[in-house]
Chain A
Amino acid sequence: MNADHPDAKLIALLERIALKDQAALKSLYDECAGKLYGLALRVVSQREFAEDVLQEAFLNIWRSAPDYSASLSPPMAWMGLIVRSRALDLLRRRAAERTHLTQEIDETLADTLEGDGPTPLDTAQASEQAWALNQCLGRLDSKQREVVNLAYMRDLSHSELATQLQLPLGTVKTWIRRGLDQLRLCMARFA
């Protein structure tokens, strides 16, 4: 890998963090906190919760950096999975604590569905695979794209999506199926 590649920089930082280098943790935070916080916010939708998720995720990175090399993943993908998993944990905890969570999600989902167009991609940090996925998602019908996005981001089933989006189950299934079919054809071209 080219030493100037952003991945090389992040991997070097993770190696130092594995040796308990706190300055490296700060550098990693400066590099990645915005991206990872954006992700956390997308999953949990409230700033305060997203901040808790980011905090837990960085403590997790601090503790499990020695395991990074075994993951064979690009660094942003590895950290993204940590953030997503912490964020989904928080959603589940809150769902268990508070039944009106569904309603809160409804409102944010409604906002999300209104927002259109593919996400602008910061190509400097994105992996090739993320670039390909972004291209392919960009070719989907906007509703299909958003439903596929939400299914993944919040780990929702067809029926959970239907309930929360107040759409017929059949519609959600159709959008997901068509979205996935197109995505499969498109991603096959990048493979």
Chain B
Amino acid sequence: MKIHQHPELLDRLAASYALGTLRGQARRRFEAMAREQAPVRAAALIWQSRFSSINELQPDVAPAPAVWTRIENLVLAEREQAALQAARAKAAAQSENDKRWSAWLRSLTVWRVASAAGAVATVAAVTVGLNLRQELGSEIAKLQTQLQATPQIEYVAVLADDKAAASMLVTFDPKNKKLTLQRVGGYQEASDRSLQLWALPPSGGPKSLGVLTNDKLLRLTAGENDVREVPTLAISLEPKGGVPSETGPTGPVLFKGALIQKML
């Protein structure tokens, strides 16, 4: 049927198609006609565009300020991840071992400059050995002194696996005593296992901060004393429901990373 010779019917079908209420067989027939006949395609596009204005007609609502912080942290983590991968590809291209090693250090210098500029810092810390970890430590100490003057401090950690792939983004808001965990990698524990978050204080054993659910985003309550001056957070794989804090982790540590303070 030359449907464009029936403009009213075409308009009606195109409007129902774009609204989404044209379903099933009727929708498939309309789609087939649109592929063959340009006027049908045009009518559908016009109505899709008209209805998409409904998106603009919704009243403004202010989102919680934490949303921007989360977006910013994820963007930073993504950029660092990309930089790291680029650096690794470059390093892999170098044949000699020591050359590769110096390329590593160069790339990491770049990376550390970025982190000092306010980035979420720690994706690579796990892979780079003691020297660098000490340097990072002093970098963080410097940052912390800078930040001590400002009243609003937030804590951020990117927990990474042994290949330095970021898997978990942790932020801590001391004001509201809220730890927010966000899964950023594709890791999924088995259904009879749970991931458990630990603070690794400089002295004493690991202290459990809570057990993770399957949600992409998870909020835990923690006091600032549990988190302040803790250099490292780690996530271990435990039996379903986790283990008591006194026991300490019983399974392998899958992800860990340094905790840094960050200005909001």
Interchain CA distance A155-B55 in the complex, whole Å = 13
Is the CB–CB distance between A38 and B67 below 8 Å?
no
How extensive is the interface on chain B, given as a class?
A: 35 or more
Interchain CA distance A83-B67 in the complex, whole Å = 15
Interchain CA distance A51-B51 in the complex, whole Å = 24
Q: Among the interface residues B52, B54, B55, B78, which one has the most CB atoms of the partner chain A within 10 A?
A: B55
- Which listed segment binds A: B12-20, B152-160, B185-193? B12-20
If A151-B19, A187-B50 touch, does A35 touch B56 (CB 8 Å cutoff)?
A: yes
Is the CB–CB distance between A80 and B19 below 8 Å?
no
Is the CB–CB distance between A22 and B60 below 8 Å?
no
In this complex, how many residues of chain A approach chain B with their Cβ under 8 Å: the count is 58
Interchain CA distance A121-B57 in the complex, whole Å = 6
Q: Which residue of A lies closest to B70 (CB)?
A: A55
Interchain CA distance A33-B60 in the complex, whole Å = 8
Q: Does A164 contact B (CB under 8 A)?
A: no
DSSP majority for the B interface?
Answer: helix
Question: 1/0 contact trace for B33-64 toward A, CB 8 Å?
Answer: 00000000000000001111111111111111
A51 / chain B contacts, CB cutoff of 8 Å: 63-64, 66-67
B135 / chain A contacts, CB cutoff of 8 Å: none
Q: Does B72 contact A (CB under 8 A)?
A: yes
If A51-B67, A55-B74, A183-B15 touch, does A41 touch B21 (CB 8 Å cutoff)?
A: no
Q: Which residue of B lies closest to A180 (CB)?
A: B15
Is the CB–CB distance between A34 and B16 below 8 Å?
no
Interchain CA distance A42-B54 in the complex, whole Å = 11
Q: For residue A146, give the distance in angstroms from its CB to the closest CB of chain B.
A: 12
Q: Does B88 contact A (CB under 8 A)?
A: no
Q: Among the interface residues A55, A58, A157, A181, which one has the most CB atoms of the partner chain B within 10 A?
A: A55
Q: For residue B203, give the distance in angstroms from its CB to the closest CB of chain A.
A: 37
B62 / chain A contacts, CB cutoff of 8 Å: 33-34, 37
Is the CB–CB distance between A33 and B15 below 8 Å?
no
Cβ-defined partner of B59 (8 Å) among A38, A80, A184 = A38
20 pairs from A and B in contact (CB 8 Å cutoff) = A34-B63, A35-B56, A35-B60, A38-B58, A38-B61, A47-B64, A55-B67, A76-B55, A80-B52, A119-B59, A127-B56, A130-B56, A133-B51, A133-B54, A137-B57, A151-B19, A152-B51, A152-B54, A176-B21, A181-B12
Q: Which residues of B contact A (CB under 8 A)?
A: 11-12, 15-16, 19-21, 23, 49-64, 66-68, 70-72, 74-75, 78-79, 216-217
